[in-house]
């Protein structure tokens, strides 16, 4: 289904700690609604792999599980948002992560007459996050996400989506770094729940259950927020 009736492109934000399922759910929403998933983590990993100036500056913070500086992330996001495909509407996955970023996003959207349709908080228990994050991996071909315990490919070693057999794990998905990433979430990102609540843009969803049940709940929120 395309959200074509809306006059300005939809802007949805997924908030939640590492392992909450933001990436998985963003991909599902992307398919269902024809929106574009923008993951600042993916954009930064790409910048690191290409050894761009921003990538070189971001690498140390990413390796340690800390946040990359606001100026780097805001510049990367601003450039990506200016690309044509974002006119379909976007799901922000992993941005904003600080109040400075949230304010910068408000300014950027204001310049193009856009607004945030909803900031959706994926509510999870911290205790489950380390296991969720340490067991996950993705298909190197199409990016489909899997998990050692919760979501194995139907045929072992073969991606359900594209048939590829090259899987990869993120370097920062290990128990030590996950602890630092959770700390960064609580100290710097969780305050955004209050920030968006104050703007009446906040929606909450219990993200501890089954992936498809959460997807259903999220789809209903997105339909309501973009109607």
Nearer to ligand AMP, 89 or 94 (CB): 94
Of residues 14, 80, 95, 185, which one binds ligand AMP by CB under 6 A? Answer: 95
Say how far apart CA 134 and CA 79 lie, in whole Å: 31
- Judged by DSSP in three states, 51 sits in coil
Among candidate residues 136, 151, 154, 199, the one labeled active-site is 136
68 binds ligand AMP (CB under 6 A): yes
202 binds ligand AMP (CB under 6 A): no
Of residues 13, 14, 35, 44, which one binds ligand AMP by CB under 6 A? Answer: 44
Helix (H) or strand (E) holding 148: none
Q: Enumerate residues 6+ apart whose C-beta is below 8 A from 216.
A: none
Say how far apart CA 196 and CA 206 lie, in whole Å: 17
Structure tokens at 162: 């594209």
Of residues 11 through 40, those in contact with ligand AMP by CB under 6 A are 18, 39-40
132 carries an active-site annotation: no
Nearer to ligand AMP, 33 or 95 (CB): 95
Say how far apart CA 5 and CA 8 lie, in whole Å: 9
In the complex, the residues that contact ligand AMP under the rule CB under 6 A are 18, 39-41, 44, 61-62, 65-68, 73, 94-95, 97, 101, 172, 181
């Amino acid at each position: 289904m395309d959200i074509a009736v809306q006059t300005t492109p939809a802007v949805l934000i997924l908030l939640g700690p590492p392992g909450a399922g933001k990436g998985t759910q963003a991909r599902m929403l992307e398919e269902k609604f024809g929106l574009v998933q923008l993951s600042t983590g993916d954009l930064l990993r790409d910048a690191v792999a290409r050894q761009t100036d921003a990538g070189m500056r971001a690498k140390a913070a990413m390796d340690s599980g800390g946040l990359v500086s606001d100026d780097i992330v805001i510049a990367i996001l601003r450039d990506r948002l200016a690309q044509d495909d974002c006119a379909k509407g976007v799901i922000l996955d992993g941005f904003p992560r600080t109040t400075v970023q949230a304010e910068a996003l408000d300014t950027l959207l204001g310049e193009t007459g856009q607004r945030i349709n909803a900031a959706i908080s994926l509510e999870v228990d911290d205790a489950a996050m380390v296991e969720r994050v340490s067991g996950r991996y993705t298909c190197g071909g199409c990016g489909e996400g899997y998990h050692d315990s919760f979501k194995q490919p139907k045929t072992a070693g073969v991606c359900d989506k594209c048939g590829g057999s090259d899987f990869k794990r993120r370097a920062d998905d290990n128990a030590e770094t996950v602890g630092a990433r959770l700390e960064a979430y609580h100290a710097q990102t969780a305050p955004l729940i209050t920030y968006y609540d104050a703007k009446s843009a906040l929606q909450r969803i219990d993200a501890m259950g089954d992936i498809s049940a959460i997807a259903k709940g999220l789809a209903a929120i997105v339909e309501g927020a973009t109607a």
